[in-house]
Structure 1
Amino acid sequence: MPKEQGRKLVAQNKKARHDYHIEDTYEAGLVLQGTEVKSLREGRASLVDGFVDIERGEAWLHGVHIPEYLNGTWTNHAARRKRKLLLHKAEIEKIDKRVSEKGLTVIPLSLYFSDGRAKVEIGVAKGKKSWDKRQAIAERTAKRETEVAVGRRLKGMRD
């Protein structure tokens, strides 16, 4: 069987970039059970309630929902169990220091397979206020409207 190449996206936390200012991102490996990998290969996962916690020098992923494998037996996994993240010790210490000092949080941004191995992209983030969210939406709509107007102008259409 040929080895997998490239990156295959399984799940993405779209709401994270809306609710948080992402300051840094890291790629981490995941310690998974066999049925979890099979369920992920089917493209089934949810990162919405996920967060990363650092306990005794180890990074743990909490709240990520990987549903039970449909063809699994008694060896199936718990859907919301905590999963260990594989990061370098220096990265873990750096993240822990930033989170404890500045009141930041660590959230999962995307879950994917990179060359056949399950990876999660985590981000050190700061929560947005409601006015930040409204401002970001207003900027996006203004940018979209200008692009439409420029496109119409280039095609020779009237506004």
Structure 2
Amino acid sequence: MGKKKKTSAPGGRKTIGVNKQARRLYEFMETLEAGLSLVGTEVKSLREGRVSFKDGYVRLKDGEAWLVGVHIAPWDHTGAFDQHDPERPRKLLLHKYEIQRLQARVDQKGLTVVPVALYFKQGRVKLEIALGRGKNVHDRRQDIKDRDMARDTARQLAAYK
């Protein structure tokens, strides 16, 4: 019998990077999984976890979805001529009806498509994207208050045990 592979997360999902700013700045309506069209050196760099979401967003244009502004660092072990552009737009692999539905929601309700997390799933690079509405300052402050209250209650419950 063969050995069973160990996975770090349920469903064979190994997280590469998470966009921490996304949850702080946006309220998510729904999430979706998309594949990415990458070159070999990008995949090797992602295996080392060298990705930054800084100003990343998803652009819907001409019936296609593009990941823009996500920085995948060049892989160290190649020559200067074989390197990829770290900031290049990358095509997202989604079904036509998924792109059309996202486009309609973005146009109609003023929502935006945000990259949330990048991970490996069964050896392939996947991107979790979310349809979100931007939070205003009041919403962010309320989230901080709620988080503080939950932490204080957890502390008090732990003290009584």
Structure 1 length as normaliser, TM-score? Answer: 0.93
SS class of match (2:103): helix
Tell me how far apart the structure 2 counterparts of residues 48 and 124 of structure 1 sit (CA, whole Å): 18
Aligned pair partner of 1:34 in 8, 32, 40? 40
List per-residue Cα deviations over 1:30-73 (Å, max 9, x = no partner): 00001000000111101121100111101000000001111122
Equivalent residues of 1:62, 1:83 under 8 A apart:
yes
Q: Which amino acid aligns with 2:121?
A: S
Instruction: Name 2:76's counterpart in structure 1.
Output: 70
Structure 1's unaligned 5+ residue stretches are: 155-159
Q: Distance in 2 between matches of 1:143 and 1:112?
A: 29
Gaps of 5+ in 2: none
From 55, 59, 82, give the equivalent of 1:53: 59
CA contact (8 A) 1:4 1:116 kept: no
Question: What TM-score comes out, normalization by structure 2 length?
Answer: 0.92
Q: C-alpha distance in 2, partners of 1:112/1:140?
A: 27
2-side partners of 1:105 and 1:55: how far apart? 13
Q: Could you tell me which residue of structure 2 aligns to residue 157 of structure 1?
A: none
SS of aligned partner of 1:39? helix
Q: Secondary structure at the match of 2:152?
A: helix
Matching residue of 2:114: 107
**1:75 Cα offset (Å):** 1.1
- 1:145 and 2:148 equivalent? no
Q: How much does 1:4 deviate?
A: 8.9
| Number of residue pairs the alignment of both structures matches | 153
Tell me if structure 2 keeps the 8 A contact 1:46–1:64.
yes
Residue identity (%): 49
RMSD of aligned C-alpha atoms? 1.4
Kindly state the Cα deviation for residue 98 of structure 1 after the two structures are TM-superposed. Answer: 0.2
Native 8 Å contact 1:8 1:113 kept in 2: yes
Q: Does 1:9 align with 2:15?
A: yes
Find the aligned partners of 1:33 and 1:75 in 2 and give their Cα distance. Answer: 10
Q: Cα distance 1:4–1:55, how it changes in 2: closer, same or farther (>3 A)?
A: farther
